[in-house]
Amino acid sequence: MSQKEQVVILGATGSIGLSTLDVIARNSERYQVFALAAGRNVDKMTEQCLVHRPQYAIMHCEDAAKSLRERLTGSNTEVLSGTDYMAQMAAHCEVDIVMSAIVGAAGLIPTLAAVEAGKKVLLANKESLVMSGQIFMDKVARHGATLLPIDSEHNAIYQCLPSALQQDTKQGLSQFGVSKILLTGSGGPFLNRDINTLKDVTVAEAVAHPNWAMGQKISVDSATMMNKGLEFIEAKWLFACQAQDIEVVIHPQSMIHSMVQYTDGSIVAQMGQPDMRTPIAYGLAYPERIDAGVQPLDFSSLTAFTFTKPDFARYPNLALAIDACQSGQAATTVVNAANEIAVAAFLNNQIGFCDIYRVNAQVLDKSTLHSLNSVHEIMALDTQTRMLAHDVVNRIR
Ligand code: NAD
Ligand code: MG
């Protein structure tokens, strides 16, 4: 390759951001970091800028940017702040690839900017697709962006699809003999815990995922299985299918990352270590393959693989998200926003673990759902829902 591909990482200091930089460092002859964006972790960002020497570093707020600027005195990295600059860098004409790995709704605007600029977009930030599904996918098609799923399940499904469908999922799964998407999930840390004790779950217990090391929000979402609910909605949009085409399967070992079932009885699965560097490397190099630093599975040391159906009494948030998926865009936008507030309140010890569902269900119940026709309307509903969710949290605590 003559010229290196220029990469922007939105959410550089997080778990996905770190893994992305690790894969880039292993393949430095192919990729160069153009810009890094993050929330407020100045220590981590300083370290990353000194190692990867991006042209730009963008922090969420000016306070953090000011402190980063001081730390980077003498370096060639220009430090900026705010969502507008993140969006500008994601759409910059010199950029080839954008990793979307900001957590939550904050990722929507810069991710859409990358889509509108027709970039190769590696989507880890599932919340942006949950919030804006149809509008997001329409923009991908209209602007000729290449959308590659990084969420391990969706990346696995993508790998199990015929290449004609990978190029254009809108053609419809059934055209290619796909009869079902089997979305696997580990069940999180409380798969076997006495259901009557879930109300006593502590933050430390909830963020300790048995198989994956991830950011705090997605770790709590995995414990409630709201994560699988968000992924259910994500799959519907990514693969242009309906709720009845997707089945959630509990697979506690997290070695099979998801499966695609075909009409002839074949089921194609993607397997590997539970290490996000595999889907990240797949996305960066697609359709080629590069070193991700991940060891292959050692079949001589694997123990039994088990599979069960999810228990909705244990995981009411999963049922709530699947219902919202069937109900439509406004419902999924509301669930996403309510859940972000509820999870933040749980992480701040303001509400209990089981209250996360209570907040989500009450907010959805109190919301008026109408059709959403623009990003502006989506953001307005997101803001309004967050206020409602804060009220519900304050009443519960
Ligand atoms: P994390 O909490 O470790 O990192 C989040 C990143 O977003 C950090 O760099 C943080 O500084 C940045 N950020 C937060 N608010 C911001 C804002 N307002 N503006 C700019 N940057 C902001 O989270 P993570 O685990 O890396 O997850 C990131 C995204 O990827 C989430 O949407 C998550 O659902 C998705 N994802 C993560 C994993 C995983 O294994 N970690 C797997 C699949 C999907
Ligand atoms: Mg996932």
Residue range(s) occupied by CATH 3.40.50.720 in the chain: 5-149
Section 267-281 average pLDDT: 97
Q: Whose CA is nearest to atom 2 of ligand 1?
A: 215
Whether 16 has a binding-site annotation, put simply, is yes
Residue range(s) occupied by CATH 1.10.1740.10 in the chain: 328-397
Residue pLDDT, tens place only, 2-28? 699 999 999 999 999 999 999 999 999
The whole-number pLDDT of residue 2 equals 63
The whole-number pLDDT of residue 120 equals 98
Q: Is the CB of 341 under 6 A from ligand 1?
A: no
CA of 11 to the centre of ligand 1 (A): 6
CA of 228 to the centre of ligand 2 (A): 7
Whether 94 has a binding-site annotation, put simply, is no
Q: Is the CB of 103 under 6 A from ligand 1?
A: yes
CATH topology of domain 5-149: Rossmann fold (3.40.50)
Residue pLDDT, tens place only, 82-107? 999 999 999 999 999 999 999 999 99
Q: Is the CB of 153 under 6 A from ligand 1?
A: no
Asked if ipTM goes beyond 0.85, one says: yes
Between strands 78-81 and 56-59, the pairing is parallel
Mean pLDDT, all residues of the chain:
97
Structure tokens that stand for 62 in this block: 């000016």
Predicted TM-score of the model (pTM): 0.97
Residue pLDDT, tens place only, 176-209? 999 999 999 999 999 999 999 999 999 999 999 8
Q: Is the CB of 280 under 6 A from ligand 1?
A: no
Does the pLDDT of residue 1 top 70, yes or no?
no
Please confirm whether the linkage preceding 296 is cis (ω < 30° from 0). Answer: no
Range 328-397 has CATH code 1.20.90.10: no
The whole-number pLDDT of residue 234 equals 98
Q: Which atom of ligand 1 has the smallest separation from the CA of 276?
A: 40
Does the pLDDT of residue 212 top 80, yes or no?
yes
The whole-number pLDDT of residue 302 equals 87
CA of 393 to the centre of ligand 1 (A): 23
